[in-house]
Structure formats: structure tokens, C-alpha cells
Amino acid sequence: MPKPVDFRYEAKAHAYYLKGLRIPSVTQVMTGINDFLGIDPEIMAAAQERGTFVHTATALYDRGALVLEEMEADKALEPYVWAWVKFRDDVLFIPEAIELQVYSLRYRYAGTIDRVGLLRGVRAVMDIKTGASPNLVAALQIAAYQTAYNEQHPSNKAKERWVVQLRSDGTYRLHEYKDPADWSTFLSLLTVYNWRRRFTP
């Protein structure tokens, strides 16, 4: 059994520490990509606010701590949660880990995976998105999550990576990502991030 590694997360600062040193999050490494893709910052901000509620509600549901009929929320947001319930029922998704913090000792980055679980019997890394179809950022994000998770769980690896897109009409769409270039692209961004950090006060 591998020795435990000194890894911690400070929620207030949204900061990850490995062996006492701060390491970047997947999100930090990806900073600037949304600008490159031409995504409106106001749209991004609205999506993040909506996503915070949806992530909290779906996590509570998966932990058995949310009674859907008693859910107190903006009525405009409820359909996203019902979409998650429908997704779980339709494909019999079984969560094994919820909001799981992972790190890569080899590459020195960290992040929080929305879900790891069995999708049609195959272990998968799952990211939850709301609104428009996932962009290229999602592919790189979950490639990074999958690599970190598999590094920590070599005998219990996640073989697939998916995004479940929850929609405002209560439906969902599943998006699978298989391109091996997703990981190499993220690794290139990590290299650039670390290079910039060396020369930025």
C-alpha cells in the first residue's frame, strides 16, 4: 500500500497544497482558454452561479440528503436537478465518489472531480455541466482529472470520461471524450503555466 502523501485543500482560498507547496488547480491551468474560445465573461459568470447551485443539489441528492419534493430553490434551477435524477435512472449510474479531490504527484496539479462511478458497469470520470453544449475546455479538464485519479488508483482505474450536460428543460445529454490529444494538450498548458509562474512575481 502506498505511503500517504501530504495533500490538503483550503476551501476559502480554493488552494491545493502538496507536500507543503501550493500547486495549481486544473481550473487555474486552463485560465485564458475561455478567452481564446471567445466565450463571453458575463455568460461564464452566470453559468458558474447556476453551476454552483446545481453541483450542491446533485451532490446532496447522491448522498441521500435531498428530498426532491421539498427542494427549496429558484424554480428556474430545479429542472437541472431533475435532469440529473433522470440521467441516473436512465443509465443506472452508480456514484462511487462525489466531489473527489485528486492530485498528480508526478505532474503536480490538483482538482475536484464531480463524480467517479460506474456508468453501464464501466468506471468513469464524470463532469457535470449546465447550459450550452460543453466546449473544448471540458475535454481537457476531464482528461486531467482522469489522469490524476488513475495515478492515485492504479489498480482501480477509470477507463472512460464523460460530461453530462443538464438542460433547463429537465433533459440531459451525455458527451463521451476519447481523444488522447486531450491529455497531451492539457499537459502543454501545464508546462506553459509553470513556465509563466517562474517569471511572474
DSSP 99-155: EEEEEETTTTEEEEEEEEEEETTEEEEEEEEESSPP-HHHHHHHHHHHHHHHHH-TT
For domain 27-199, which CATH number applies: 3.40.50.300, 3.90.320.10, 1.10.287.1060, 3.40.228.10? 3.90.320.10
**Residue 180 confidence (pLDDT):** 93
> pLDDT confidence of 194, banded at 50, 70, 90?
very high
Q: pLDDT tens-digit profile of 100-157?
A: 999 999 999 999 999 999 999 999 999 999 877 777 889 999 999 999 999 999 999 9
Q: pLDDT tens-digit profile of 23-78?
A: 999 999 988 675 555 555 555 555 566 668 888 889 988 998 765 555 655 676 78
Any idea what DSSP says for residue 95? E
Q: pLDDT tens-digit profile of 68-95?
A: 555 655 676 788 989 999 999 999 999 9
**Residue 135 confidence (pLDDT):** 72
